[in-house]
A and B are shown apart, each in its own frame.
Chain A
Amino acid sequence: MNRFLQVAWLVVWKDLRVEARSKEMLFTTLFFAISIVLVFSFGFVRAGQAVEGAAAGILWIAMAFSGTLALGRAFERERYHDALRGLLLAPVDRPAIYLGKLVGLLLLLSLVETVVAVLVAFLFGVPFFRHGWWLFLMLSLGTVGFASVGTLFSAMLVRTRSRTVLLPVLLYPVTIPVLIMGVSGTTALVQAEPDLAMARLWISLLFFFDTVFLTLALWTFEPVMTE
């Protein structure tokens, strides 16, 4: 296997194993996402009928807020016992560490999003799975965009004292386009007359955003992590 991918896989393996033992991020992220959906369902569903367009917004808000929680914890494990320096001292391409952290987060978030999507579909009575593959693609691309920026910012802030406050302050202005594209694309899919052409356009834009920010993050990770 290519050494770059091998290192990324090692980091993913390590993160998954740590998460399987602690279940810390999974439970907190899932609990938070479910809470958001439940609270909004009381506000936006009247007599079994949801406000039009609310479901898509709530799905993406739950993804963004719970994702921020997970991103905030992403490099905490590396910070404890200074394991981050152990990683940085290893003779590896440092962007491979970034990729490993990102993939680990994506796996966690995809699990949370699956539960959230089912819950939103159930509580808001929206046909999310009428075009299931489209929704899957939309959520996947949106999550990659959100997490690729978030993982980089999380790494940047790992040595700062006020990282928990700074992360959302930095993250949301940059990722607002992802959320808007995600909400608009999802709305196009779940409305009474699905607009697949519009959904395709948003998916293309999400793909473009992902390509740009993933490239930038891989490019800047090494200098960002050098003291």
Chain B
Amino acid sequence: MVSLGDVDFERVTVSDVSRFYGRRRALSRVNFECASGEIVGLLGPNGAGKSTLLSVLATLAEPSTGRVRYGAWSARAGGAKLRAKIGFLAHDLQLYPELSARENLEFFAGLYGLDRCEARADAALASAGLEFRADEVVEGFSRGMRQRLALERAMIHAPRLMLFDEPFTGLDEASCTALVDRLRHLRGDGRIVIVATHDLDVVDGVLDREILLTGGKLQVLRQSGTLRERYRAAVAKRRGNEQRVKPLQRNAQDQDSEDENGASR
């Protein structure tokens, strides 16, 4: 078994984190903090940098600048013991389709160095409502069933920090409700939960706090109205700012080129 006694944390602090892919900036000086017993929503349009931020938080990608602290630990200092405290349900489900549901769970339980892998897999299968299809290969599962299985896989080691990337994709209404209950249970259990989602109606009332990312930058949501209304207002405001800035930039460029032409004449 992996000894997990040394590394634990109650707070995740993101300080001035930027992340570049070549010349493209996916995250730009992002700052926020979240504490245990909190569900934080990570919102934003496609390409806003949500998945990149989750990868950084999961220690799968290093920030180009800035730093992430997990309590007193950095990703590098915490290493494998820190990773044992992080669970990540990514948009791609990280399952092996040729293995059965039980084999997938037992494999990952083994990787996490857990004892009683079979018993844990049984409990996870029951929680996912898949106990009757436990020995079938995942290839034949529907997207919703895979999603439920992936959720159990991501949480099999009872992580302190749980990261969800679009967790409601492919789930029916009952499964969505079950997942929302699960999120509340994780909060009650003192976990730090970060959920990146576009299903605003589903998570409205569940999130303790929302973080809006647009173009890799953090933006504040206003307080009144439903989550969808607040989200729309914030995105519209951002777009309005961009529309105002673009003509100014264009004018400045035109002025520059006129100056250059004038100078060359």
Contacts and interface: CB of A to CB of B under 8 A. Distances in A.
Interface in B146-198: 153
A11 to B, nearest CB: 8
A17 B99 contact: yes
Contacts of B153: 86
Contacts of B80: 91-93
Nearest to A97: B111
A21 B92 contact: no
A88 B90 contact: no
A3 B113 contact: yes
A224 interface: no
A169 interface: no
A226 B61 CA distance: 7
Interface residues of B, number: 33
Contact of A91 (B58, B90, B112): B112
Given A14-B107, A81-B95, A82-B92, A21 B112 contact: no
Given A10-B111, A21-B137, A93-B80, A226 B98 contact: no
A44 to B, nearest CB: 39
Interface string B88-104: 10101111111100010
Contacts of B82: 91
B217 interface: no
A96 to B, nearest CB: 9
A132 B133 CA distance: 48
Nearest to A14: B107
A39 to B, nearest CB: 32
| Interface SS of B by simple majority | loop
Interface string A138-165: 0000000000000000000000000000
Nearest to B75: A226
A89 B60 contact: yes
B67 interface: no
B86 interface: yes
Nearest to B52: A227
Contacts of A91: 2, 4, 80-84, 111-113
Interface of A: 3, 6-7, 10, 13-14, 17-18, 21-22, 77, 80-83, 85-93, 226-227
Given A14-B103, A227-B61, 20 more contacts: A7-B111, A10-B111, A14-B99, A14-B107, A17-B98, A18-B98, A18-B99, A77-B98, A80-B97, A81-B93, A81-B95, A82-B92, A82-B93, A82-B94, A83-B94, A87-B111, A89-B58, A91-B2, A91-B4, A227-B55
